[in-house]
Structure 1
Amino acid sequence: MSSASSMVDWDLAGRTARRLVSPGPRTTREEAAAVVRELHEAAATAVAHVEALTGLRPAPDGAVPEIAVVDRPGWADANARGMATLLDPLVAKLAERQDSRPGALATAIGSRATGLQAGGLLAFLSSRVLGQYEIFGTGGRLLLVAPNIVATERKLGVDPSDFRLWVCLHEVTHQLQFTGVPWLHEYLEQQIGEFVAATDLAPEVLRERLQDVLRSVGDAVRGTESGSEPEGLMALVRDPRQREVLDRVTAVMSLVEGHAEYVMDGVGPDVVPSVRTLRKRFAQRRKGRGPVDRVLRRLLGLEQKMKQYAEGRVFVGGVIELAGMEGFNRVWEGPHNLPRIDELTAPERWVERVLGRPSLPA
């Protein structure tokens, strides 16, 4: 999975994550089989509801994405593979631009150290993620992490069937975004490539900074972080061109997350009877500044970046209110119609720029 020149030993990261991952909630073999069966059924059911609400359809010539119900080690393995597929070729291109390169031994030692740290982070996150549409690495699988879904529904005290369908609505929305808008995946890869192209750091320096970030993440998880707020991943972003790329990536990820949030609530109680209860309890769960919040704040290094994900929901709801779903769906016509970073909190600006008319309620 990882080459000898990798910045991160992703094979080691995957093995480390599997060794450190915490066990899931207790279930009998029969209960576990029933959960897997219901999640597959819920994902299949969600497709029609998402299509009806959003108007998105998979590309006619596209492959049918796989739905995989996984455990925590399975999620960690999938993400280690995905990160290797995405990052290793980009780091190799970065190394080609350097006049001098570190020796094989130094590279191996550095990649193993970073792999151990990355594995610890994957192990931690593997117990928090409910679902994920794999954009990179496997051709687009929809992952549903069964033990985390069961643990969360028990903790929230909600109807299991409603909660499982609700989660699937979110993840199926992502599935339809990327299968129904084929250029979106290519656009994100292009932005990441531009980010790397604007990087003037040697790979070994970049690895050292990444190790510092991962080390600080570990401190946050263990609750031993210092009082000062670190730069996090923003420490890797020095060039103004990189910050421009980061803004574009943040805007598109805010869009797809906000769109999925809108769909989760937009289907209404006819589809998910306890949807209002689910949203209320889930929102309360998100308010706390627990370990996940510390990790994400440490990784991103800037509260504003986390805020922009929440702003995606404001943007989607605002545009639909002003221009209807048909007007909103113009966002999928091409990169030029994607929201700009300043339009996330001012959807009327997007309506005026893209639709070419004053913002009037739909």
Structure 2
Amino acid sequence: MSSSNPPGGQFPFFDFNALLGGMAGADPWKAAADMATSIASDGGSEPNVDPAVRMAIEDLARVAELHVAQAVGVTLPPGTGISAVTRSVWTAQSVTAYRPFFEKFGEALSAGIQSGSTELVAEEGPGADPNDPFGQLFPAHIMGQLFSTLGPMLVATSAGAMLGHLGQHALGQYELPVPRSTAEILVVPTNIDAAAGDWDVPSSDLRLWVLVHELVAHSVLSVPHVKARLEALFIDFASAFRPNPEAIGEQFGDVTDMAEMQQMAETMSDPDVVLSLMRSPAHDLLVPQVDALVAVVLGFVAHTVRTISDGLIRAAPIIEERVHEQLTDVAPADRFMERLLGLEIDEQTHARGRNFINGIVERAGDEGLLRLWADELDMPTAAEVDAPGLWLARIGLDDDNAKLDLEIPDDLSGLDDL
């Protein structure tokens, strides 16, 4: 839920220039945090959130909490609070929140290279020049050595760059449906007010809408079994990446000199290229599970936010439309994080979730929404997400079962006379 894409539309994924320029000797995650906050603040210092703005956010937060707490199927965890923060603070805390996923990706990268190192070594061709240091081993083997040596810094640098760009435009912390470990919800007034100006809506309306959205998302993503399931899927997906020697050879097999290596480095700045070179069969098994659960979460959040906003926030229809438009204009930073975790959030994802929630409400009303997050065993399967009637039947809320729900008297003694 960012207000716009970063300028230039690109960010340095595997930035070899930054590494070779002196970052390789630093602590990877300190360097990542420093890079992220520098990008988020446009390289300068940020003033603290204006006290008047902070107080206005706090007042609106109380209104939002009151309405969210009354919504069907929503339970705010104890200690939930709203904090209005600067871009830099949002970014620094996001680096900490997303670090486990990036570290799993880095571990998978290093492990895959070590286990497949012999496959990555190019064979000597009939025309190879024995005096050419690149002719026999470049690029696959050299790439393997680079990734093995610089892997942690490559991944951390990428994380810092990505989150720094997100921090320039993020409205709240649930830009993606990724659970957080704290009860504190971060919102960025600077970005919210900038988006309100771009969208020509009152700042107070957008502030309240964002607060409602963040609280509803937080309530769902804090449900223990939902949080555990999503985190497990994301960790499994990030851990499943493996360098694909065949794909790497096809992409970079003709690299023979340093000029072409520079071109290769530029190509590696594209997250789609990098992750496509590392996709494994395990991803094909995880994608349907991730897609289904994420669609339901997004569908429930959208339905609940719309229900609360109706009559409360005058500009809600315009805000929802503007947020929806961004689905077709995903920034590279957003796209990389989605690809890393197995997310494919597009119009189809939202339509799938919307249809599932609408199907529940039409057939079972509020009772269906109350059951959605109540028990881990009741969570819908991928097949049930496309057929809400199947899910309702499994949990005993379908129409046929309702017709058979006969009242049984407490006193059955009269049956003896029949």
TM-score band, normalised by shorter chain = 0.7 to 0.9
Deviations 1:153-212 (A, max 9, x none): 111111221211111111000222234x22222222333454467x3847999xxx9x99
Shift of 1:56: 2.4
Equivalent in 70, 92, 114 of residue 77 of structure 1? 92
Aligned amino acid, residue 40 of structure 1: E
In 1, Cα distance between the equivalents of 2:344 and 2:99?
A: 28
Equivalent in 26, 31, 35 of residue 16 of structure 1? 35
In 2, Cα distance between the equivalents of 1:96 and 1:345?
A: 37
In 2, Cα distance between the equivalents of 1:275 and 1:194?
A: 37
Aligned amino acid, residue 379 of structure 2: L
Distance 1:266 1:236, change over 3 A: farther
Select the structure with the greater relative contact order (CA < 8 A; seq sep ≥ 6): 2
- 1:1-362 alignment, distance < 5 Å: 9-23=28-42, 32-58=50-76, 63-88=78-103, 107=148, 109-133=150-174, 138-179=181-222, 181-195=223-237, 199=240, 201=242, 215-217=269-271, 230=272, 233=275, 235-239=277-281, 241-283=282-324, 285-286=325-326, 289-290=328-329, 292-293=330-331, 295-297=333-335, 300=338, 305-306=345-346, 307-355=348-396, 357-358=398-399
Aligned amino acid, residue 74 of structure 1: V
TM-score, normalization: structure 1? 0.73
Distance 1:40 1:101, change over 3 A: farther
TM-score, normalization: structure 2? 0.64
Residue 142 of structure 1 aligns to a residue whose secondary structure is strand
Shift of 1:98: 9.4
| 1:73/1:126 contact within 8 Å kept | yes
Shift of 1:38: 1.8
Aligned amino acid, residue 147 of structure 1: T
Give the structure with higher Rg (CA): 2
| 1:129/1:145 contact within 8 Å kept | yes
| 1:43/1:165 contact within 8 Å kept | yes
Aligned amino acid, residue 33 of structure 1: P
Distance 1:297 1:189, change over 3 A: closer
In 2, Cα distance between the equivalents of 1:175 and 1:340?
A: 22
Residue in structure 1 matched with residue 257 of structure 2 by the alignment: none
Residue in structure 2 matched with residue 5 of structure 1 by the alignment: none
Residue 16 of structure 1 aligns to a residue whose secondary structure is helix
Shift of 1:126: 1.3
In 2, Cα distance between the equivalents of 1:14 and 1:57?
A: 33
In 1, Cα distance between the equivalents of 2:351 and 2:267?
A: 24
Q: Which runs of 5+ in 1 are unaligned?
A: 1-7, 218-229
Shift of 1:10: 2.8
| 2:205/2:316 contact within 8 Å kept | yes
Deviations 1:89-109 (A, max 9, x none): 686699789987999997553
Distance 1:177 1:137, change over 3 A: closer
Aligned amino acid, residue 188 of structure 1: L
In 2, Cα distance between the equivalents of 1:37 and 1:45?
A: 13
Number of aligned residue pairs: give it.
330
